[in-house]
């Protein structure tokens, strides 16, 4: 095989791998099985205990039933259950209850 054919083949293989891996990375932007998972942001308080999920928060009914109106079919006071992976934030709440 001549030299130019070897070079061309090697260049083609490299470009094929480059294009293929770019295409694969574009289709799989996030890989949960990736060995490295660098921290996205610095933790505000490394010594603080991690927040625990609060399952079973009971939300009071927001809708009231008018006289003569049929009650809603959904159970009032539905329970909001956080998934195991969801954690409550340690930041102060964004809402407040008092009015000015």
Stretch that binds other proteins, among 35-43, 55-63, 65-73, 87-95 (CB under 8 A): 35-43
Element (H, E) at 57: strand 57-58
* Interface with other proteins, residue 98, by CB under 8 A: no
* Secondary-structure percent of the chain, ordered helix, strand, coil, rounded to 5: 25, 5, 70
* Interface with other proteins, residue 12, by CB under 8 A: no
* Interface with other proteins, residue 68, by CB under 8 A: no
* Interface with other proteins, residue 28, by CB under 8 A: yes
């Amino acid at each position: 095989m001549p030299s130019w054919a070897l070079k061309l083949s090697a260049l083609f293989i490299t470009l094929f791998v480059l294009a293929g891996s770019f295409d694969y990375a574009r289709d799989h932007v996030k890989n949960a099985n990736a060995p490295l998972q660098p921290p996205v942001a610095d933790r505000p308080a490394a010594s603080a205990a991690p927040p625990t999920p609060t399952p079973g928060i009971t939300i009071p009914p927001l809708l009231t039933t008018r006289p003569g109106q049929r009650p809603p079919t959904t159970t009032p006071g539905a329970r909001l259950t956080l998934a195991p992976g969801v954690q409550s934030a340690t930041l102060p709440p964004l809402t407040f209850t008092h009015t000015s």
